[in-house]
Amino acid sequence: MKNRSTKIVTQIVEKEKVVEKQVVVTATPKPAPKLGAQLIGKLEGPEIITDPTQFPKSFKEAPILADLVKAGKLPTVEKRLPEPDSLLVIKPVHETGKYGGTWRRGFTGPADDQNGHRVAGGDRLLFWHSTKYPQMTPNLARAWKVTEDGRVITVNLRKGAKWSDGAPFTADDIMFWYEDVYKNKDLVPTPSADFSIAGKEGKITKIDDYTVEFRFPDPYPLFEEILGSSLPIFAGHAIHGSRTYGGGFAPKHYMKQFHPKYVSKEELDQKVKDAKIDNWVSLYRLRNNWSVNPGLPVMTPWKTTVAANTPTWVLERNPYYFGVDTDGNQLPYIDKIVMTLAENLEVLNLRAVAGEYDMQARHLDIAKIPLFLQSAEKAGYRFNIDPAQHGADGAFRVNLSYDKDPEIAKWLTNRDFRRALSLGIDRDQINEAIFLGIGTVGSAVVSEENPYNPGPQYRKLWSIYDPKQATDALDKLGLDKKDAEGFRLRTDGKGQLRIEIATIGAAFIQFTKIAEMVKEHWKKIGIQADVVEQERSLSTTRLEANETQIHVWQNDGSDETFLYPANQFPLAVGAATGPEFGKWYQSAGKQGKEPKDPQILKVMEIFRKAPGLPREERFKAGQEAWRIAIDEVWVIGTVGLSGAFMGIRVTSNKMGNVPSRHLNLQAGQTPNISRPATFYFKK
């Protein structure tokens, strides 16, 4: 193979533009990776029909439900559905499906409840459009209206919609959650920042049985997206019913029996005792847990019949689900979802390779792509990649509030030091070795197709491999003294400068292997790194205690910049880029540590104002925040846009109406965004 001229790029920033100084050298060209493009299908999805004149006039149901109706054990389908003009009508992506079948999946245990929610949940008031990000669509709400000043959102619920036990779903279920759960200090000790604007809390008012009003003292246009997001406060009863904020609504008729406002202390104490738990709060959350309580009424297409704390989590169709297809068939098409416990991720992946799952994306390993492709025809499945819009599937998140070792803290908070570390990483090698060449190398900036992206030049900013520039920068910083092994010495005279990189084992991506490769890259610029792999809960505990120096994860969710800042910006409690700064920001200065860096303070000010801005202005504000974050290198990106997080997918050839490419979005809880209730088995 002949050599050809290539370019080494030295990067500087002039007026927020990347300027490249080119020096011509010779190098062996690398073949352009083609695998990823071949495996990424066309972005497509079902359509929500909102014009009542196009709604079906007659209805059909699954044979298993028709048999129950004949036996007198279930009302007719017309009586189970909402009123004719309040239906959720979904036009499937490809065709009208067929009823029946069991969807086989794998999961990793009770803590993996989001695995079930991503396919069988999605019970929030609004939802994201399946292909037109960031457009919102109806869901549990049939309609909504935002006032011109952005202070009030009026939500209209579906008249006649019912819980899975047949009880009406009304505004009272939202008000019960708001007045008796969210405002109860035992259940929710600290209000959610997402229900406030400029530090002023919102209020919910019942207008009538099917209308509620969300009112804020200041404009809060972002709240419309919060109502459709996976944030804890309004993400829906299924995923967050047992968590801190409760998800935005709850079945009052069922859950009030576990609440001290509605039952006597003696009765509640007996229930706590019978359940063998500590207190009524724990009892409430246990009974409001969609994945472990089969008796809990739900608004999801399927409901739990065998709990997730068993080796086999089983969900069966909800006979009262409020959605139909355009031909009037009540959804879902598939009768049952069965998730089988996998002892570890290797077992789960090998089962997927063998074709034992009908559609699986969660927990699949990008490194197994050759096996998936090799086995696809024999095992009877198709293999696809659904790229996400977040920019770093291997993100080195620098703790800007670290203070346990003053010398290390001095360098982690030094912008030129972070830039040097970034320039010292051979991203092409990581892409080939870990991501099989299908990812995009560069910074942690969101996808160029994302409205928050500040410009294509920010993909390369401080992220082109240039060990000489990195070495020169470290020397100029005063780190020019080295030991006999060539590693740089601390400036306080206490020996070798060592940076700890914390990783999590058994995660979605091979973070430890990525970190070990970066460790070798940094040796060439004289930086000693220690890679420490930890169990996930321990790693999270250390992170929140401000003990980590650099933490490796992905910056998932950063595609929706103002909804999920924790993996990119030092703005959230537990943010890896500065947990103490996140506490300070979220508590309005009452906790944590105030940042001194003017750029961090500038981004905090952007985030304070942005939720109150109209969408187009919010996009511009987000772009400014990203310009700062990438230039400051708070997160060192390596490879992104690969689909490695939730986007490595196998789908049985027997399953229909599965898009060839999902919109892989944290807020959309993919594949929920593609409406799994419309998936079906062809045979």
* DSSP tag of 241: T
Give the number of other CB atoms < 10 A from CB of residue 279: 11
- 531: which 2 tokens? 């890679």
| Exposed e or buried b per residue across 306-338, where buried means at least 16 C-beta atoms within 10 angstroms of its C-beta | bebeeeebbbbbbbbbbbbbbebbbbbbbbbbe
* DSSP tag of 223: H
437-477 pLDDT, tens digit each: 999 999 999 999 999 999 999 999 999 999 999 999 999 99
3-state DSSP call for residue 560? coil
Sole residue written with tokens 């967050």:
240
Strands 17-27 and 211-215: unpaired
Q: What is the rounded CA–CA span in Å between residue 264 and residue 362?
A: 43
3-state DSSP call for residue 35? helix
- 328: which 2 tokens? 């009037």
Q: Are 469 and 451 in contact, with CB atoms under 8 Å apart?
A: no
> In this structure, is the dihedral angle defined by the CA atoms of residues 540, 541, 542 and 545, taken in order, positive or negative?
positive
Q: What is the rounded CA–CA span in Å between residue 118 and residue 677?
A: 12
Instruction: Please report the pLDDT score of residue 35 as a whole number.
Output: 59
Q: Which of 290, 288, 242 is nearest to 116 (CA)?
A: 290
Q: What is the rounded CA–CA span in Å between residue 147 and residue 373?
A: 51
Instruction: Please report the pLDDT score of residue 133 as a whole number.
Output: 87
Angle, alpha carbons 411-414-417 (nearest 5°): 75
- 389: which 2 tokens? 């819009």
492-523 pLDDT, tens digit each: 999 999 999 999 987 778 999 999 999 999 99
Residues of the chain with pLDDT under 70: 1-37
What is the residue type of 516?
Answer: E
> In this structure, is the dihedral angle defined by the CA atoms of residues 45, 123, 103 and 357, taken in order, positive or negative?
positive
> In terms of C-beta density within 10 A (0-12 exposed, 13-18 middle, 19 or more buried), how is residue 29 classed?
exposed
Q: What is the rounded CA–CA span in Å between residue 404 and residue 394?
A: 25
Instruction: Please report the pLDDT score of residue 18 as a whole number.
Output: 43
Question: If you count them, how many residues does the chain have?
Answer: 683
Q: Which of 363, 366, 447 is nearest to 39 (CA)?
A: 366
Instruction: Please report the pLDDT score of residue 174 as a whole number.
Output: 98
Start-end of H helices in 105-210: 113-120, 171-176
- 240: which 2 tokens? 């967050």
**Chain center to CA of 284:** 26
Sole residue written with tokens 């007996």:
270
Q: What is the rounded CA–CA span in Å between residue 426 and residue 423?
A: 8
3-state DSSP call for residue 454? coil
Q: What is the rounded CA–CA span in Å between residue 496 and residue 408?
A: 11
Please name every residue paired with 41 in a beta bridge, in sequence order, or none if there are none. Answer: none
Sole residue written with tokens 């035992």:
186
> In this structure, is the dihedral angle defined by the CA atoms of residues 267, 270, 272 and 275, taken in order, positive or negative?
negative
How far apart, in Å, do the first and last CA atoms of the chain sit? 51
Please name every residue paired with 146 in a beta bridge, in sequence order, or none if there are none. Answer: 153
What is the residue type of 628?
Answer: I
- 641: which 2 tokens? 């846009």
Q: Which residues contact residue 440 at a Cβ distance below 8 angstroms, ignoring those fewer than 6 apart? A: 431, 459, 639, 640, 641, 642
Instruction: Please report the pLDDT score of residue 587 as a whole number.
Output: 87
